[in-house]
């Protein structure tokens, strides 16, 4: 039993920052009960060193610290390349809506109103840690020197994006009200749909984000899980909007796949702040996926000739041999060795060498024009 608890306790390290010791203790009790490792701090001073030593997976910070704010914490975390994808969540007073909006405007990944239920806190922690795990998987091939590639990848650029946003509500009337409230101050392209007519949403272009009306109706929660399991909408951001302060319903929506939750009903300003932050996040993730796919493709291709390289050839030959064995048929491998080609590469460079005939014609001299080969006809030794 002891070994099981120890193994589970290292599934995530959470840094709790608060100038009030009772608040830190309460959060530590809630989080350690769920087998998270908790590190505590009380001020901004010394935080950079604490971050380097502990490498947290998530930071929970009071909106106001003795010597700084949650925004200052976010800037310190972002300054460390190894922690750039660590979520930073502000904790604000229950009835301070202005503080909640300010935290989102400052770029915090989320803001929780204190006091909160254990179930809601842990559901949000699980959701944020899932997002970070997905991001870390994509960063494997996107560091300063990606594994297996000769050249480092270029820095990712995340421009402001005009996203496709689908509003998914129980009734068309609610959807129309949300669209009117958002359209006054957003650059995103909005469309409205009802849960009873989901086909229109799924048959059109895949939205970047979905604003989802969360209700106690089990059909709606099942629909949320269905959207996050479909290949087309798996990476689409889903922001749930919960009427009132139903923490249990919000927790269920987070565990079903919601990326963020707006409590106390629809608020255009808060929804837009969350929407902009989430669309920027998935834009960056999309770029990372594209970069990783490109890197994988380039690992099979020689960058000079555009031909498949030895790594690809060995893999392909393995597949051919496997299929041949099962089919009971033989196969042949042909190798072409280009005589004296080194002299051309030495004289004209490798980039120039791929344009020449593999073997100069009889009587060729430096002044003689040579025919050009297409890339596909250039032989390359394995």
150 domain residue, yes or no: no
What is the mean predicted confidence (pLDDT) over 120-144? 81
| CATH of residue 245 | 3.40.50.2300
Same structural domain, 292 and 314: no
From CA 187, how far away is CA 176, in angstroms rounded? 17
Residue 283 domain boundaries: 157-298
* Same-domain pairing of 39 and 170: no
Structure confidence at residue 299 (pLDDT)? 78
Crossing angle (nearest 10°) for helices 118-139 and 268-298 = 30
Cis peptide before 373 (omega within 30 of 0): no
The answer on 136 and 1 residing in a single domain is yes
Q: Which residue has the higher pLDDT, 219 or 70?
A: 70
* In a domain? residue 362: yes
What CA–CA distance (Å, rounded) separates 371 from 50?
65
In a domain, 364, yes or no: yes
Residue pLDDT, tens place only, 184-242: 888 899 999 998 888 888 888 899 999 999 988 888 889 899 999 998 898 899 999 99
Instruction: Concatenate the DSSP letters of all residues of 13-39 into one string.
Output: EEEEE-S-HHHHHHHHHHHHTTT-EEE
CA angle at 289 for the pair 285 and 292, rounded to the nearest 5°: 135
Residues 257 and 372 in one domain: no
- How far apart are the C-alpha atoms of 59 and 13, rounded to whole Å? 9
- Torsion angle of C-alpha atoms 135, 140, 141, 145, degrees rounded to 10: 120
Q: What is the pLDDT of residues 232-271, one digit of tens each?
A: 898 899 999 999 889 999 999 999 999 999 999 999 999 9
Scanning 245-366, the segments in alpha helix (DSSP H) are 247-255, 268-298, 310-327, 341-353
Whether the predicted pLDDT of 1 surpasses 80: no
Average pLDDT estimate for 147-174: 68
Number of structural domains (the chain) is: 3
Between 142 and 83, the more confident residue is 83
Say if residue 332 is in the same domain as residue 271: no
- Contact status, residue 58 vs residue 15, Cβ threshold 8 Å: yes
b/e per residue, 273-287, with b = 16+ CB within 10 A?
bbbbbbbbbbbbbeb
Neighbours of 248 (CB within 10 A): 13
pLDDT tens per residue, range 92-123:
988 888 999 999 999 999 999 988 899 999 99
Last residue of a domain, one of 249, 269, 298: 298
Q: How far, in Å, CA of 266 to CA of 269, rounded? A: 9
In whole angstroms, give the CA distance from residue 58 to residue 72. Answer: 15
Cβ of 45: how many Cβ atoms within 10 Å? 13
Is residue 305 in a domain? no
Average pLDDT across the chain, whole number: 82
Answer whether residue 269 is part of any domain: yes
First to last CA, the chain: 54
- Range scoring the smallest mean pLDDT among 142-156, 213-227, 280-294, 351-365: 142-156
Task: Report the b/e string of 333-346 with b at 16+ CB within 10 A.
Answer: eeeeeeeebeebee
Give residue for tokens 């300063």.
144
> In this structure, are residues 274 and 262 in contact, taking their beta carbons and an 8 Å threshold?
yes
Examine residue 146 and state whether it is found in any structural domain, yes or no. no
Domain end (from 246, 268, 298): 298
Q: pTM to 2 decimals? A: 0.75
User: Which tokens hold the place of 169?
Assistant: 């509500």
When comparing pLDDT for 54 and 3, which is higher? 54
**Per-residue b/e over 103-141, b at no fewer than 16 CB within 10 Å?**
bbebbbbbbbbbebeeebbbbbbbbbbebbeebeebeeb
Are 14 and 114 members of one domain?
Answer: yes
Same domain for 175 and 123: no
Q: Is residue 351 a part of any domain in this protein? A: yes
pLDDT > 80? residue 361: no
Tokens of 103: 């935290």
Residue 115 lies in a domain: yes
- Give the model confidence (pLDDT) of 312-334 as tens digits: 888 888 898 888 888 888 888 88
Residues 169 and 240 in one domain: yes
Do 115 and 5 belong to one domain? yes
Q: Are residues 162 and 278 in the same domain?
A: yes
Question: Could you tell me the two tokens for 344?
Answer: 């051309």
> Based on the domain organization, do 209 and 78 belong to the same domain?
no
The domain boundary residue, chosen from 78, 112, 140: 140
* Pair (327, 221) in one structural domain: no
Does pLDDT of 51 surpass 90? yes
């Amino acid at each position: 039993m002891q070994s099981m608890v120890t193994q589970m306790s290292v599934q995530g390290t959470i840094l709790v920052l608060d100038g009030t010791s009772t608040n830190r203790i309460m959060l530590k009790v809630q989080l350690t009960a769920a087998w998270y490792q908790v590190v505590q701090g009380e001020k901004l001073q010394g935080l950079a060193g604490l971050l380097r030593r502990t490498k947290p997976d998530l930071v929970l910070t009071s909106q106001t610290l003795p010597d700084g704010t949650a925004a200052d914490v976010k800037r310190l975390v972002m300054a460390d390349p190894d922690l750039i994808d660590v979520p930073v969540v502000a904790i604000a007073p229950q009835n301070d809506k202005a503080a909640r909006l300010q935290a989102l405007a400052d770029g915090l990944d989320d803001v929780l109103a204190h006091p909160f239920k254990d179930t809601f806190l842990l559901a949000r922690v699980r959701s944020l840690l899932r997002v970070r795990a997905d991001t870390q998987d994509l960063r494997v091939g996107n560091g300063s020197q990606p594994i297996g590639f000769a050249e480092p990848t270029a820095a990712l650029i995340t421009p402001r994006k005009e996203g496709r946003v689908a509003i998914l509500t129980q009734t068309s009337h609610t959807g129309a009200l949300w669209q009117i409230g958002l359209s006054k101050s957003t650059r995103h392209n909005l469309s409205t749909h009802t849960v009873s007519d989901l086909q229109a949403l799924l048959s059109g272009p895949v939205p970047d984000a979905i604003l989802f009306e969360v209700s106690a109706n089990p059909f709606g929660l099942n629909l949320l899980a269905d959207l996050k399991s479909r290949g087309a909408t798996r990476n689409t951001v889903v922001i749930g909007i919960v009427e009132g302060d139903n923490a249990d319903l919000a927790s269920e929506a987070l565990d079903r796949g919601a990326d963020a939750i707006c409590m106390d009903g629809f608020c255009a300003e808060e929804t837009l702040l969350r929407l902009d932050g989430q669309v920027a996040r998935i834009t960056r993730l999309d770029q990372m996926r594209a970069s990783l796919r490109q890197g994988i493709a380039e690992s099979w291709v020689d960058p000079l000739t555009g031909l498949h390289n030895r790594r690809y050839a060995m893999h392909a030959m393995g597949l051919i041999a496997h299929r041949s064995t099962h089919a009971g048929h033989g196969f042949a491998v042909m190798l072409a060795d280009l005589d004296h080609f080194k002299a051309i590469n030495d004289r004209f460079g490798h980039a120039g060498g791929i344009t020449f005939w593999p073997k100069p014609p009889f009587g060729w001299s430096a002044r003689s024009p040579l025919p050009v080969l297409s890339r596909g006809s250039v032989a390359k030794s394995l």
